[in-house]
Structure 1
Amino acid sequence: MHKTPLILTALAALICGNAQAAVSAEAAATLGTRLTPVGAERAGNADGSIPEWTGGLPKDAGRLDAAGFLSNPFEAEQPLLVITAQNAEQHREQLSAGQMAMLKRYPDSYRLRVFPTHRSAALPDQVYQAIARNARLARLVEGGNGLQDLDTAYPFPIPQSGLEVLWNHITRYRGGSTRRSHVQATPLASGTFTPVHFRQQLSYRDKIKGYDPQNPGNVLFYYKQTVTAPARLSGDVVLVHETLDQVREPRMAWLYSAGQRRVRRAPQVAYDGPYPASEGQRVADNLDMFNGAPDRYDWKLLGKKEIYIPYNSYQLDSPQLKYADLVKPGHINSDLTRYEKHRVWVVQATLKDGQRHIYAKRELYIDEDTWQIALADHYDARGTLWRVGEGYSSYRYDQQIPWMGVEALYDLLNGRYIASGMRNEERGGLEFGFEALAAEYTPTALRNAGVR
């Protein structure tokens, strides 16, 4: 059973009765006092295994090298324990169903190295101020499939429903805009893989030149992804205009095929449509653990739980490693992953009657300090646990940006998986906070960017 913490009970009387309303001024005032500025519990847990949040890592917690790689501030630490298939039952209460299934599926190789917990996340002051405003003003549109009065990020720091928790993940702060080069692998069960190289750019609406906050429109962010290798895929581009209310105005997406030199609309880049270059190992709304419109599911908030999740995964970003060091048969190399005990929000999504999706049920585990989905379990129509998602966060302390660099989706049935966001062998850092022109995110720009 998922236990909702006492702090939520204490706040319940302060929250307005309407499920689509913002919280009261009195409840909002707990942000930055009893709660952290993003709505997490400031206090540690009863046995001290989760510490108090004291402001997160400082910006000078480590070094940034010339290639844009951050040093690991916890490099000297050793695991407190290692969870394997042999001792998993002792730790079942701190594991997700997906983690238990992975331990059973790969008893000789998959394990969780559990380290001391560090509540690393911190955000710029202006984001904290926006969150405080959102707590009083932001609202779900009718049906919960969009937002009104969103300022920057995290509309619901004191959530009242599963949908509100989900929207915190969808809108979470990622620096406003991002450029990066990264690699994706879809290994065979034997571990053999061909790396696919991407150049990716994301801009939230307030980072588009000429953005008018008095007339924000319905676009939440703009996204462009270009394949740069291998040659058979090089030059293919995906372009997305992500809308706030995707039911009233569905996301707009386009594909450019370098082989055909043609741009076409791509309504299939949504829900369970096949995601380009993923070899069938991921559907469109699997990217970023979950993205897109939530309208096909009923979302239930099950409460909070203390579990082991991927956290402070700096080693997975190390430039001392090759992609072949990370990508192993069945799953990412367990000698390189790091887990910590954190409090997570647990949200269950059940497919609505009359709706269609390859996943009949999903369970999401969302970190309280970042609102990032850390774990995601996916069930098929027969109720069988099918795919297990893990998001390996590594906080960008130099920029004060919670960041999920590498994510993986493991298929328990066919023994394959997809891992994306790797950049160990890339030369060129992550770029955050730049302003972009709207013209960079048009079908015309897509055509120009996709020329081989």
Structure 2
Amino acid sequence: MKKTTSHVALILSLMIAGAAQAKVPAAEADKLGKELTCVGAEKAGSRDGMISAYSGKWLGTPPGIQYTPYAGQHPIDPYSSEKPLFSITADNVAQYESRLSSGQKALLARFPKAFRMDVYATHRDFRYPDYVCDAARKNALHAEVVDGGMGVKDAVIGAVPFPIPKGATEVLLNNTFPYRAFSEDTVRDLANVLSDGRVSWGRGHNTNINRVNGVANAGEPLDSTMAYSRSLVLLPEREKGILTVSIEPVNFVTGKRLAWSYDPGTRRVRQLPEYGFDQPLGGSGGKMTIDSDRLFNGSPERYNWKLLGKREMFVPANSYKLHGKTVKYADLLKPGVPNADFIRWELRRVWVIEGSLKEGSRHLYGKRVLFIDEDTWHAVMSDFYDTRGTLWQYAYINHYYAFDLQGWQPGTAFYHDLNSGGYVGYNLFQERDKGPILNKGNLNVKMFSPEAARSAGN
């Protein structure tokens, strides 16, 4: 009874706080595709010229590159001939600190010889398909926040719900519903790199269906389900064969994140009583939580969110070199920090939002600051603080424009524990035969049921 009463109280409080936030008038939506890109980024470059103006000259595979779509081919770098403009190190950090996060500055201080940031020319050369632009305009005119940020109404499939956001909640929901692959099939590695350089390995076969994107249903209203996910453990051996399927709702008040797990030892499927928040992500050694995948995912209910504005910052971008098939883990995963030779940093504009843990709520992170790229609406970096307010972790995701997706794909991410000096290399596929197989369209929702998990295990 106490749990039911608390849940009702939460819903009532969210409904009171969640009066629908205004959609933008037509005159403002008309900026999309003009002074703004079709998904809401500023087209103009920065005053100092370091951030280039948006060109959007390429859709899909650029000229001169041989690429086979929907086959898991590793990314090919269209900027492979470029050299860094300069490097940010512990010696010159003061010159650039206004464009760095607290986590970046902490890594520079802790690993002054190993961590550096090679800064390259900023490129904004890729664009989205026309149907994404059409969906973004519809959403700008009609989509609204409901239930205190726990959901969206009157949004359509195919683009972020709020290309012209007015507050933190809308920015966060854009990160929840970015344009991304509607189907994905990946075998990926996870490396828990200890402070002395030793590595504990994990591997999984992950498949996903993202229901809020896809050309076949673009422009149609969102339904109640956001995504389906399935994860089969391949490593370590002691966990091999564990299979988890999950379902993600569009609205966390009217729906719930559900998950089931098949245990090969008992040959049984059980529903997980809770899935998400600060449950540790398997194989990460406590350096990642379920809701820190993609830097933030799931219900936003445990935090108060505040918009800190838009900043020009050095963030990972156009990260093709890192994901090449010739990259070896032994060369990449070094003690303390990954090999800086593989990481590309660019100056870009990012939205900055801060989540502070609500009084009475529980989470390992007392505060989390998210940096969300204006061109892609993907979170690219995050600073994580413990419940005492001390900076604890810094993480960043290396995105690249996937030619078969015609949009940005989150690639390998690094999650740094600033206390222990260790880190996790997450979503590694450099040494796998194939990279992510995107938008092949060969997955169906029946593959993500408890019954399917039981059949796959048996």
Q: Same fold (TM over 0.5)?
A: yes
Q: Does the aligned pair in 2 maintain the 1:122–1:402 contact within 8 Å?
A: no
Query: Quick one: which amino acid aligns to residue 375 of structure 2?
Result: D
Q: Does the aligned pair in 2 maintain the 1:203–1:436 contact within 8 Å?
A: yes
Residue number in structure 2 paired with 1:71: 76
Partners of 2:429 and 2:218 in 1: how far apart? 35
Query: Quick one: which amino acid aligns to residue 45 of structure 1?
Result: S
For 1:163, what is the secondary structure of its paired residue? Answer: helix
1:442 to 438, 444, 449: 449
Residue number in structure 1 paired with 2:89: 84
Instruction: Note if 1:371 corresponds to 2:374.
Output: no
Residue number in structure 1 paired with 2:8: none
Query: Quick one: which amino acid aligns to residue 294 of structure 2?
Result: D
Residue number in structure 1 paired with 2:32: 31
In the superposition, relative to structure 1, how do residues 27 and 98 fare at CA in structure 2: closer, same or farther (>3 Å)? same
Partners of 1:283 and 1:449 in 2: how far apart? 26
1:359 to 359, 365, 373: 365
Partners of 2:322 and 2:455 in 1: how far apart? 33
Q: Does the aligned pair in 2 maintain the 1:182–1:426 contact within 8 Å?
A: yes
Partners of 1:72 and 1:161 in 2: how far apart? 35
Q: Does the aligned pair in 2 maintain the 1:183–1:420 contact within 8 Å?
A: yes
In the superposition, relative to structure 1, how do residues 161 and 250 fare at CA in structure 2: closer, same or farther (>3 Å)? same
Partners of 2:303 and 2:385 in 1: how far apart? 13
Residue number in structure 2 paired with 1:151: 156
Partners of 1:289 and 1:422 in 2: how far apart? 16
Structure 1 residues 329-367: Cα deviation after superposition (integer angstroms, max 9, x where no partner): 122211211100000001011111111111111111100
In the superposition, relative to structure 1, how do residues 435 and 173 fare at CA in structure 2: closer, same or farther (>3 Å)? farther
For 2:380, what is the secondary structure of its paired residue? Answer: strand
In the superposition, relative to structure 1, how do residues 207 and 394 fare at CA in structure 2: closer, same or farther (>3 Å)? closer
Deviation of the 1:70 alpha carbon: 2.4
Residue number in structure 1 paired with 2:237: 231
Partners of 1:267 and 1:247 in 2: how far apart? 17
Deviation of the 1:430 alpha carbon: 2.5
Query: Quick one: which amino acid aligns to residue 448 of structure 1?
Result: S
Residue number in structure 1 paired with 2:293: 287
In the superposition, relative to structure 1, how do residues 385 and 206 fare at CA in structure 2: closer, same or farther (>3 Å)? closer
For 1:332, what is the secondary structure of its paired residue? Answer: coil
Query: Quick one: which amino acid aligns to residue 442 of structure 1?
Result: S
Structure 1 residues 415-441: Cα deviation after superposition (integer angstroms, max 9, x where no partner): 121111111111124222215322111
Structure 1 residues 101-158: Cα deviation after superposition (integer angstroms, max 9, x where no partner): 1111111101100000011442111111111111111111121111112212300000
Partners of 2:53 and 2:268 in 1: how far apart? 54
Residues 86-105 of structure 1 mapped to structure 2, 5 A cutoff: 86-105=91-110
Partners of 1:287 and 1:32 in 2: how far apart? 31
Deviates more, 1:407-416 or 1:427-436: 427-436
In the superposition, relative to structure 1, how do residues 120 and 230 fare at CA in structure 2: closer, same or farther (>3 Å)? farther
Deviates more, 1:374-383 or 1:117-126: 117-126
Residues 313-332 of structure 1 mapped to structure 2, 5 A cutoff: 313-332=319-338
Deviates more, 1:329-338 or 1:292-301: 329-338
In the superposition, relative to structure 1, how do residues 216 and 115 fare at CA in structure 2: closer, same or farther (>3 Å)? closer
Calculate the TM-score normalised by the size of structure 1. 0.91
Structure 1 vs Structure 2: percent identity of aligned residues? Answer: 38
Partners of 2:377 and 2:72 in 1: how far apart? 28
Partners of 2:414 and 2:275 in 1: how far apart? 19
Partners of 2:364 and 2:163 in 1: how far apart? 31
Q: Does the aligned pair in 1 maintain the 2:190–2:283 contact within 8 Å?
A: no
Partners of 2:219 and 2:257 in 1: how far apart? 21
For 2:322, what is the secondary structure of its paired residue? Answer: helix
Partners of 2:457 and 2:123 in 1: how far apart? 42
Deviation of the 1:411 alpha carbon: 0.5
Deviates more, 1:250-259 or 1:91-100: 250-259
Residue number in structure 2 paired with 1:6: none
Calculate the TM-score normalised by the size of structure 2. 0.90
Deviation of the 1:98 alpha carbon: 0.7
For 1:194, what is the secondary structure of its paired residue? Answer: strand
Deviates more, 1:233-242 or 1:129-138: 233-242
In the superposition, relative to structure 1, how do residues 36 and 217 fare at CA in structure 2: closer, same or farther (>3 Å)? closer
Deviation of the 1:19 alpha carbon: 6.2
Backbone CA RMSD of aligned residues: 2.1
Residues 128-147 of structure 1 mapped to structure 2, 5 A cutoff: 128-147=133-152
Deviation of the 1:287 alpha carbon: 0.6
Deviates more, 1:212-221 or 1:303-312: 212-221
Query: Quick one: which amino acid aligns to residue 409 of structure 1?
Result: Y
Deviates more, 1:35-44 or 1:61-70: 61-70
Residue number in structure 1 paired with 2:7: none
For 2:230, what is the secondary structure of its paired residue? Answer: strand
Q: Does the aligned pair in 1 maintain the 2:333–2:339 contact within 8 Å?
A: yes
Residue number in structure 2 paired with 1:413: 419
